[in-house]
Every structure is written in structure tokens, then in C-alpha cells.
A = this chain, B = another copy of it.
Amino acid sequence: MSVTAAKGFTAAGIAAGIKENGNPDLALVVNTGPRRAAAGVFTSNRVKAAPVLWSEQVLNSGELAAVVLNSGGANACTGPKGFQDTHATAEKAAEVLGVGAGEVAVASTGLIGVLLPMDKLLPGVERAAAALSEHGGEKAAIAIKTTDTVHKTAVREGSGWTVGGMAKGAGMLAPGLATMLVVLTTDADVDSATLDKALRAATRTTFDRVDSDGCMSTNDTVLLLASGASGTAPEYDEFAEAVRAVCDDLGQQLIRDAEGASKDIKIEVVGAASEDDAVEVGRSIARNNLLKCAIHGEDPNWGRVLSAIGTTSAAFEPDRLNVAINGVWVCRNGSVGEDRELVDMRYREVHIVADLSAGSETATVWTNDLTADYVHENSAYSS
């Protein structure tokens, strides 16, 4: 499954020794053709890791033969040496695969500000190439994990073609893409412009609306590669929907595996004057630490939802705001609504509806609760 669900792809995942604990840390995904169309979406953080700078440049051609991904080090804030290391990684993959370095994307994840152990990474690329297989998708998905507790894959079947993918991400999940590395593959016969259009449309309403902790990464990378191996050129709408569905599925898996989380919170903003307003309000609620603590405590503290809405520039009148938590309209017209005791908060999924009463646009943003486990995981992360 994963990145090898679609025909025309091989993949591998190995332990190159980048991680000191010996876990798998290097993945290779190869497009065996016949076509090599590709598109990518990257972090909007202005501090970008070396592999992001490299891969953005490589993708200008609209073609990729392979992607090298490593966990165990982000290669971010590593200066000119870091960029040289990314370049050398692409060169090594190109050499062993018999392609050009300009056809190889690189993605890295892990601690910022540490150089990668190239004496382990480069031999690892050779070993990964030797391990490439049409069934290697799962191993590749496992090799890109950092604090993920499970590996994440998803597949959708079209009419004679397939879209599959893998993702990693557990912390630093925020709009402008979570700290995620995602590789999607398809055997549909699609050109790079179409891939780009479908991928941007998909990420805008999926990964871009997953906001676990409000922190935007330096390394976010989402790639979509097409081999054309199915020989089928799909209708755009059907193809775009399949890409969206795979992104949505992977995004949900990211939220469910977010660091330390005990609740998955779906924030549905309705009645907005514009979609931008709805997204702004959704993100503001998703980033409110006090609300996230309250949800952790199974406390339907709707006042914190209103406080968060009040910090936005969205169109609304305070005395027309309504808020439902798990189906109970605890706030009506900006004031006390139904009895908060009626709200059942025992389950993992929490559904907040914020009605701005200002129009008919909507947006849904996903986040998690804030827990002592999150604090613990992230206070001990680099040490």
C-alpha cells in the first residue's frame, strides 16, 4: 500500500544509523515511469530547512525521479554545510539510480540545528536503493517516523488508477502545513500542472487546517508524483477528489497521533461572511491554550471559545454568536444558552460549532487538547 499502491513506484525504508537508537530512518521512493510528473507544496515558514530549499528548486522542472527522506535530523538552520549535505544526498541517490540529481527531491525531519551524519546517510542511500521493492511502501512509511506512534498510509482507487501516500507528523502541526513529510504517488497519467492544481486544492482544505499546536515547521513537505503506469488519464474532478481524500485521511491520522493528545477537536465555523473569516476564527479557537486545557479536563468552557473569536478580525457581532459543544448549544446570542451540564465530553472526539451569524460560509479546523503529556514530550525532546 502506501506509496507503492500505485503502479510504477518502488520504495524502501532502512535503518541507516542516523537515529542513535537504531530505528529505521531513511526512506527512498522511486518513480519507474513511464512518466515522471511531480508537484510539491512546502512550508510557508520563512526559515526553511536545506532540503526544502533544494526540493523547491528541483520541482521547478515539474519532474521527479525519486525522493530521499530521512528522519533523525531536520537539516534546518545548518547553514551552507547543511545545503551541501542535501545536495550530496541527491547526488548519491542520482548516482545509484542512474538519474540526474536535479530529478531527486530530499525531505528531512527531526531536530533543528544539527548537521546530519553524512558518513551514515550516504551509505544508507546505497543500501536503500538495493532494497527498493514494489512492496516497499510500508517500510518507507515506517522509516520517516519521529515521535509518531504509528506509521500513516492511505489509498484511494479511481477508475483504473490509484492514489496512495504516506505521512509522518506528530508535533509542530500547524497551518502552512504541519510538521509533516508527505509523499503521494499515483499511476494516473497526469501532467505536472494538473498535479500541482490538485495538490494545492487538496492541501488548502486538509493539511492546512490541521493545527495541533500552532507551531509552524521549517521542513513541511508534501509531494505528489505521477508515473502514468496505469495508462489512464482521469477526469480532473475525480482525480482531484481522490487526492483530497488521501490528504484528508492522512491529515486525520496526524491529528489522532498528535503528541500527548487525549482529545481530537473538530472546530466547525459556520455562518461566516467569508471562508477566510471562517478559517481565521477556526485557527484562533484551535490555538487557544486555555480552551485546549479545558477540553482536556472535559470542561465545556465556552467562554474561552468566545474569547478566542473576539481576538479575530472576522465579521461578527458579539451578541449574535452561538456555540455548540458536542451538540449542545451552550452559548446563544453571545450569552448563556443550554445547560453546560448536558454536554457529554467522555469521548475522544470533541465537536465545537461556532456560529458567527454573519453569512453562510464555513470552514473546519482540527486540533487537539493540551495535556501534561504534550508538555512532557516536548520538554524532553532534544535532550
Query: Interface on A for B, CB 8 Å cutoff?
Result: 45-48, 74, 76-79, 81-82, 111-115, 171-172, 176, 213-218, 287-290, 293-294, 296-299, 301-304, 306-312, 316, 318-319, 321, 330-331, 333-336, 370-372, 374-383
Contact = CB atoms under 8 A, between A and B. Distances in A.
A375 B112 contact: no
Nearest to A79: B335
Given A290-B171, A375-B293, A334 B382 contact: no
Given A293-B375, A318-B46, A307 B381 contact: no
Given A289-B289, A336-B115, A372 B382 contact: no
Nearest to A379: B297
Contacts of A311: 45-46, 176, 216
Contacts of A374: 289, 293, 375
Given A79-B319, A215-B289, A311-B45, A303 B74 contact: yes
B382 A294 contact: yes
A78 B112 contact: no
B378 A290 contact: yes
Contacts of A45: 307, 310-311
A306 B382 contact: no
Contact of A47 (B218, B310, B333): B310
A307 B215 contact: yes
A376 B79 CA distance: 40
